[in-house]
Amino acid sequence: MQKLAEKDETKKEALDNFLEIAKKHGTPVFIVDHERIRQNYREFREALPRVQAYFAVKSNSDPEIVKTLYKAGASFDVASFPEFMIAYENIKDMPEKERQDWIWDKIIYANTIKRQETLEELDKYKPLVTYDNSEELKKIKKHAPHAGLVLRIRVPNTGSMVELSSKFGAHPGEAVDLILEAFSMGLVVEGISFHVGSQCNNFENYMQALQLSASILKESESRGHKINILDIGGGFPVKYNSKSKSFKTLARKLNAEIDRLFPKTIEILAEPGRFMVANAATLVAKVIGKAVRDEKPCYYIDDGVYHTFSGIIFDHCTYPIKAFKEGELKVSAVFGPTCDALDTISIAEELPDLDIGDLVYAENIGAYSHASSTYFNGFPPAKVVHINRQK
């Protein structure tokens, strides 16, 4: 009972803080809690001690988040040259030699398809880059011959919120041939990688992917090329709701299978994005209009699916809207501010009677949300406020 009361008091303090922030900065406001980010990083490393975390910058590319994770010890998974530079800027004060070593250990360019111009820009940094087909190998050979390569293979994505295998990954049966092809071109394959799909609730995906990877590594070594890196991708589940599986349960399974299949000498990395930032941000918005349609209360707020709630469209995610005020709950609809019917946040939200000017909030909205905000209809993205940063 005491722990429950302490938890309720902590929640109340947080909500009071959010109200003060909204009062000071206006709405909509996207509040990022850096202590929660640090906690998530620590939890990941403690649960998976053999795995280095390469934060997927695309999940939230705010430079302040990158800085916090860099200071905590994280590495970075980038998928564009601008993302690469966001990570690179964190080390601008290092001597050149140390910076080059840092790039090799701390950044992987994990987009398997890259523009020629991007490869030319990347080549001088000698980064790790992924590939999954012969045409990409030809581009890398011509435009970034100094890069280290990681072959991405296709693995099952069944049961994941966002499926990725239809767009990326070489068929496992072609993997060793693609490794041999790269070496025959004078390139060096440093590792193989896979991704089981975002927000994976089917842990068997990981088990099958690890077994496939072990077989490919064994065959590659038998053909004269030992691979030193295994990238197990992302997909680590976040506790959005009761249907979300336990990360700790997954970690136990991963540790056991990794120890069974792979020698201690292999370097293992992962690309958590959602896991690091999803629960580290809260969106506070204001009711700017209300109506009753078909006997249902309808509220219009100053943020929507073209902005922080973009994850509803792009990430197949839902973000329950909650009110700061109390009262009898009624099933209500919540819409964003734009002149587009697509800008619908929820048609079945339980809310008290709200007035124009009242504030509402959404939790667990830190991943694949604000990063996709637009200026559609002339509405700007939510202002970002960072709390609990360290100097």
Positions marked catalytic: 339
Question: 196 Cβ partners below 8 Å, 6+ apart?
Answer: 155, 156, 157, 160, 202, 205, 206, 209, 233, 235
Q: How far apart are CA 169 and CA 197, in angstroms?
A: 12
Q: For residue 245, what is the DSSP state?
A: P
Q: What is the DSSP string of 280-329?
A: GEEEEEEEEEEEEETTEEEEEES--TTTGGGHHHHS------EESS----
Note whether 44 and 53 are within 8 A (CB): yes
Q: Peptide bond before 28: cis, by omega within 30 degrees of 0? A: yes
Q: For residue 153, what is the DSSP state?
A: B
Neighbour tally for 380: CB within 10 Å: 10
Structure tokens at 339: 């002149």
Alpha carbons within 13 angstroms on the beta-carbon side of residue 84 total 21
